Amino acid sequence: MARPLIQLAIDLLDFDAVVALATEVAPYVDIFEIGTPSIKHNGVTLVKELRAKFPDKLLLVDLKTMDAGEYEATPFYAAGADIVTVLGVSGLPTIAGVIKAANAFGAEAQIDLINVENKVACARASAEAGGQIVGIHTGLDAQAAGHTPFSDLNEIARLGLNVRISVAGGIKASTVQDVVKAGANIVVVGAAIYGAPSPAEAAREIRELVDATEV
């Protein structure tokens, strides 16, 4: 398996704080995720700013599109996003719209399986439709109720689909190697980095742990 990518989920609302955090941890992460709260607050301007400042990083816009897939995703791909997310619960027509927009820009679509009842069926259908990434996502509310992404990750990884698997949901230094061993291609870390006393040091630790994991 190729070296897993580390994605930093940035949910900060303050524009300058997002840019400052990205600058601090840039040596250790591969993907900057403009989280849903951040993209709702800052819009396409933030995508353009990060694209200009970090041409060598992948940018993911966590749009969580629920309808009008192609129409919603297109401006963000045009602004420089490499990946835009669409909700699996939106249904195949919406998913296909985001995939179409992604293909038009030589980019990727990620199908987020959060709250999808039959994750296996949705992952299979998304892969068949041409989706490039499937997101195993345990949301904040589910985490608070004690849920983790591991069972879903194991189930999806066993399918052997022609997609990359992204995993998000409370991942930290103590669990990141288990996530990689379970089959994650993209490891999403949020609060464990941006909430740390030194985000750069936390990101460096995660990077070293991921790179040292044998799969």
Give the model confidence (pLDDT) of 33-66 as tens digits. Answer: 999 999 999 999 999 999 999 999 999 999 999 9
pLDDT digit string, tens, across residues 183-198: 999 999 999 999 999 9
Give the span between the Cα atoms of 58 and 80, in whole angstroms.
9
Q: Poorest-confidence range of 67-71, 97-101, 141-145, 192-196?
A: 141-145
Label residue 7 left, alpha or beta by phi (over 0 means left) and psi (-120 to 50 means alpha). beta
Closest to 205 (Cα-Cα) out of 9, 2, 21, 25? 25
Mean pLDDT along residues 70-93: 98
The pair of three-digit structure tokens given for residue 62, joined into one six-digit string: 């966590």
Confidence of residue 1 (pLDDT cuts 50, 70, 90): low
Is the model's pLDDT at 144 over the cut of 90? no
Q: Poorest-confidence range of 62-76, 171-185, 193-207?
A: 171-185
Count of Cβ atoms closer than 10 Å to residue 144 Cβ: 9
Give the span between the Cα atoms of 182 and 1, in whole angstroms.
12
The pair of three-digit structure tokens given for residue 189, joined into one six-digit string: 């870390």
Percentage of the residues of the chain whose pLDDT score is greater than 70? 96
Q: Choose between 3 and 140: higher pLDDT.
A: 3
**Tokens 């980019």 -> residue:** 107
- Would the pTM of this model clear 0.75, i.e. be above it? yes
CB 78 within 8 A of CB 105: yes
